[in-house]
């Protein structure tokens, strides 16, 4: 399992920020990450599908520097090579990526591995695969990911909260108006994409989200 500090962040974080430059109102990923850090988000994932590999690498280097200085856990989506090259704290993979056991062989013991899951079967399979946390979703319909499956709904979220002894992050179509539905069913950590990066004032949005989580 991964380093204690980063695992602690995942266990205690309420919000999990994810980059998405196309929804960021003209701001760069770097600007958005700076604002997320200032707003107190403790876990940030770099997710960028469209850019060239070199551009992603240079962005990740800068974000790694920012997050390290701030003591924020930095996770790279999909790209195990980028995560290793920039010294990220973790990598997040999907069901169609390399098997988690093989990813662990590549990244070693200290790096966090997150795995997206969409069903009870996938969640149970993850238990023996050496991952550190699960992505649970998409809870609601989402447009920020192109190759996404149908919404899994709140029932799957409840299943994981009751039956799977791993930290998990709820994701997919979660907004300020529905976030309490998610936390009320057992999610302690919630990932949001456009709702955060698409806000003109990220600090104010984060504050509003935290209030909404309480109901």
Give residues with Cβ within 8 angstroms of 193, minimum separation 6.
18, 20, 23, 47, 142, 144, 145
For residue 192, the cross-strand partners are: 17
Distances (CA, A) of 89 to 33, 65, 103: 16, 12, 14
| 212/215 Cα distance (integer angstroms) | 5
Instruction: Report the helix count and the strand count for the chain, using DSSP H and E.
Output: 10, 8
Q: Find the catalytic residue in 56, 64, 104, 145.
A: 145
Kindly name the residue from 116, 185, 199, 205 that is annotated as catalytic. Answer: 116
Cα dihedral sign, 106-42-137-32: negative
User: For this structure, is 47 an active site residue?
Assistant: yes
* 116 belongs to the catalytic site: yes
3-state class of 56 per DSSP? helix
Per DSSP, helices labelled H in 71-187 are 80-86, 100-107, 120-127, 153-163, 179-183
Tell me how far apart the alpha carbons of residues 94 and 11 are, in angstroms, rounded to a whole number: 21
Burial class (CB in 10 A: 0-12, 13-18, 19+), 148: middle
Pick the catalytic residue: 24, 47, 56, 205? 47
Phi, psi of 36 (to 5 degrees): -65, -45
List residues with catalytic annotation. Answer: 47, 116, 145
């Amino acid at each position: 399992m991964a380093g204690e500090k980063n695992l602690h962040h995942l266990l205690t974080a309420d919000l999990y920020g994810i980059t998405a430059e196309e929804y960021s109102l003209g701001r760069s990923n770097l600007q958005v990450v700076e604002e997320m850090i200032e707003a107190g988000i403790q876990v940030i994932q770099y997710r960028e599908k469209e850019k060239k590999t070199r551009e992603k690498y240079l962005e990740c280097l800068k974000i790694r520097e920012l997050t390290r200085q701030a003591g924020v856990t930095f996770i790279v989506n999909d790209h195990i090579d980028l995560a290793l090259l920039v010294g990220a704290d973790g990598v997040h993979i999907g069901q169609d990526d390399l098997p988690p056991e093989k990813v662990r062989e590549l990244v070693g013991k200290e790096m966090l591995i997150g795995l997206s899951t969409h069903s009870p079967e996938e969640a149970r399979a993850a238990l023996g695969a050496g991952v550190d946390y699960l992505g649970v979703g998409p809870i609601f319909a989402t447009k920020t990911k192109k190759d996404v499956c149908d919404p899994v709904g709140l029932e799957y979220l409840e299943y994981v909260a009751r039956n799977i002894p791993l930290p998990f992050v709820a994701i997919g179509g979660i907004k300020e108006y529905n976030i309490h539905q998610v936390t009320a069913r057992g999610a302690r950590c919630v990932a949001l994409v456009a709702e955060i990066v698409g806000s003109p004032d990220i600090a104010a949005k984060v504050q509003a989200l935290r209030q909404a989580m309480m109901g």
